[in-house]
């Protein structure tokens, strides 16, 4: 999981659940143990990613000078749709169990959905466009690609 996306505050959590009041040996409310919780720290929303093509690319009779990807606008349904499409399109080897999150096709489907283009366009991008976009898709899926060094 991406440590930046799902950072938690360090709060000790009781491993023994509190005794319900009706079973408690002492019925005083002050002796009841209240459960403790850890709060997830959610990163702030980021602006969409725009990729500009120089020179513009042509695919399926259309010319594209840029594509925009709003990863933070994705919902759980978007991931489910990408997984279903992946299962329909991906042909696993004889002894292979495909995990969508590990395959380029799954990330291509997510990118294509966000930009409202064919996944084949994404697959035909030059390396200089494809690799950074796939890295962004990996982050959106909760993976932790090598992060850039922090400046001290």
Report the C-alpha dihedral over residues 107, 111, 114, 115, rounded to 10 degrees. -170
Domain that holds residue 123: 49-140
Q: Is residue 151 part of a domain?
A: no
CB-based burial label for 114 (10 Å; 0-12, 13-18, 19+): buried
Q: Is residue 150 part of a domain?
A: no
Q: Is residue 104 part of a domain?
A: yes
- Segment 96-102 mean pLDDT: 73
- Segment 36-59 mean pLDDT: 92
pTM above threshold 0.85: no
Q: Is residue 24 part of a domain?
A: no
Q: Is residue 30 part of a domain?
A: no
Decide: 2 and 139 in contact? Cβ < 8 Å: yes
Indicate whether 11 pLDDT > 80.
no
- How many domains in the chain? 1
- According to the model, what pLDDT value does residue 32 have? 78
Task: Report the SS3 class of residue 59.
Answer: strand
Looking at the chain, the whole-number percentage of residues with pLDDT higher than 90 is 42
- Segment 24-47 mean pLDDT: 78
As a whole number of angstroms, the distance between CA 39 and CA 9 comes to 6
Q: For the chain, what's the residue count?
A: 152
Cα–Cα separations (whole angstroms), residue 24 to 21, 30, 37, 63, 131: 5, 12, 22, 71, 59
Structure tokens at 42: 């959610």
- Segment 83-103 mean pLDDT: 79
Decide: 11 and 36 in contact? Cβ < 8 Å: yes
As a whole number of angstroms, the distance between CA 90 and CA 29 comes to 58
Q: Is residue 20 part of a domain?
A: no
């Amino acid at each position: 999981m991406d440590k930046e996306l799902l950072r938690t505050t360090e709060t000790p959590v009781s491993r023994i659940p509190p005794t319900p009041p009706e079973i408690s040996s002492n019925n005083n409310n002050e002796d009841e143990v209240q459960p403790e919780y850890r709060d997830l720290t959610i990163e702030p929303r980021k602006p969409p990613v725009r990729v500009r093509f120089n020179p513009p690319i042509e695919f399926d009779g259309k010319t594209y000078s840029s594509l925009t990807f709003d990863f933070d606008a994705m919902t759980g349904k978007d991931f489910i749709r990408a997984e279903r499409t992946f299962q329909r399109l991906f042909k696993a080897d004889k002894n292979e169990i495909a995990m969508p999150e590990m395959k380029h096709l799954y990330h291509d489907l997510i990118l294509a959905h966000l930009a409202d283009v064919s996944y084949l366009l994404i697959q035909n991008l030059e390396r200089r466009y494809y690799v950074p976009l796939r890295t962004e898709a990996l982050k959106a899926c909760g993976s932790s690609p090598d992060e850039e060094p922090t400046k001290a």
